[in-house]
Copies of this chain bind each other. A is one copy, B any other.
Amino acid sequence: MSLRVAVVGCGTVGSQVVRLLTTQVEDLSARVGDRLELVGVADLNREAVIAQGVDPALVTDDAADLVTRADIVVELIGGAEPARRFMLAAMASGASVVTANKALLAADGPTLYDAAAAAGVDLYYEAAVAGAIPVVRVVREGMHGDQVKRVLGIVNGTTNYVLDTMASSDLDLERAVKDAQRLGYAEADPTADVEGHDAAAKAALLASMAFHSRVCLADVSCEGIGGVTADDVAWAARTGHVVKLLAVAERLDAGISVRVHPALVPLTHPLASVRGALNAVFIEAEHAGPIMLYGQGAGGEPTASAVVSDVVSAARNRVTGGQGPRESAYANVPVLPPEAAVSRFQVRMDVADRTGVLAKISAALADADVSIESVRQNPSPGPRGLAHLVITTHGATEAARVATIAALERLDVVDTVVSVLRVEGDML
């Protein structure tokens, strides 16, 4: 008896998965303890798959049929339908499922988790978060002797590449995105990356795993990097920071805060040194202290490595009679509204260049109950005789921050609030 593996969806990642399952079959079978057999590859474009060199006898365009003939189904179509339908059909006919489908898991994970539990099969999704980095395995299975307090992730390689390029080459956002597109780090339509939607889906999955709760994409407050200017990036460096798009999942007393936004990260923080299109996840746990995982978060081959690792885990469970992790949402902690999140923030503004200005501004912050950590004043480069004021605050709720900015904008001494960025990465 061998273990039948079916691959549904044969694009960039799928074709690499098929290649690994074919060329590494001896080694993988040794790890499983039984023979892995690729029984079929389903794709609507049969010709393209055959042109990649896949045995034509294995290639079908009938995924609905294929998924009922396998012990392990690898879903790599992406998106909601028909991916969900095929996964549910696979589980209903007793197959374990391996997927990289972060969008579907973030939007409608519970349907899939419940179906897997009901069918008594495994659902693995290492490749859905940060590609080759085994963050799902670590957060889902490795931290369960501990309480995770916060997860900070650089989980979108495109935006990290763009921000890193802005910092190192002094480019504005638009030109850095073009650069990323030219080098293949950004899609022709970069919206999902730049606006943070991709990172938000991963944030939902990280929060669900870290806090044993069910957090959906709709629970994640999301702000992309569209508003980050070359000036923001330059001022970040001047104040000892670097701008990163962070996925934040945080356990507060009242519940969970899950959000994606650009943030100033202190240069001394390990996440600050994550360059280019790399990904990293920084996990702060009650007893283990901080742990960081770092590596390639995308790309066909790294992602395929994570998928095949899941196939081996699912196959080993078949052989040993074991069971992969289940999404037990026993903690069921409420997800807090965005206003509840607490961050330090840095506000840059052009102000009148005369005495008494700082007193008025300090009073406005004090009125909003926001405490100032540091102030830096520079002559503003413009012709209007203004000063450029950079204020970094202590922790404040998002509500207090919004109120503060509104109050500052009403002050006659404030010409323009140029930029407001959260500061993240203080050690808990």
Contacts and interface: CB of A to CB of B under 8 A. Distances in A.
Interface string A264-288: 0000001001000000000001111
A134 interface: yes
B132 A288 contact: yes
Contacts of A270: 273, 294
Contacts of A287: 16, 20, 132, 301-302, 304-305, 308
A336 B322 CA distance: 36
A216 interface: no
B27 A147 contact: yes
Chain B CB within 10 Å, residue with most, of A134, A290, A299, A325 = A134
A86 B171 CA distance: 64
Contacts of A33: 328
A310 B146 CA distance: 11
A317 to B, nearest CB: 6
A331 to B, nearest CB: 8
Interface in A287-335: 287-296, 299, 301-302, 304-313, 316-317, 320-323, 325, 328, 330-331
Nearest to A28: B145
A138 interface: yes
Contact of A305 (B145, B299, B301, B328): B145
Nearest to A29: B330
Contact of A144 (B296, B309, B330): B309
Contacts of A310: 145
Contact of A302 (B126, B288, B296, B308): B288
Contacts of A10: none
A291 B134 contact: yes
B31 A328 contact: yes
> How many copies of this chain does one complex carry?
2
A212 B30 CA distance: 10
Nearest to A287: B305
Contacts of A273: 270, 273
A53 interface: no
A252 interface: no
A138 B126 CA distance: 12
A296 B305 contact: no
A137 interface: yes
Given A146-B309, A322-B320, A291 B133 contact: yes
Given A30-B330, A143-B309, A273-B273, 18 more contacts: A20-B145, A27-B147, A31-B212, A31-B328, A134-B142, A137-B138, A145-B304, A145-B305, A145-B311, A145-B312, A146-B308, A270-B294, A287-B305, A288-B295, A288-B306, A293-B294, A316-B325, A321-B322
Interface pairs A-B: 7 shortest CB-CB: A322-B322, A145-B308, A145-B309, A132-B288, A320-B323, A287-B305, A291-B295
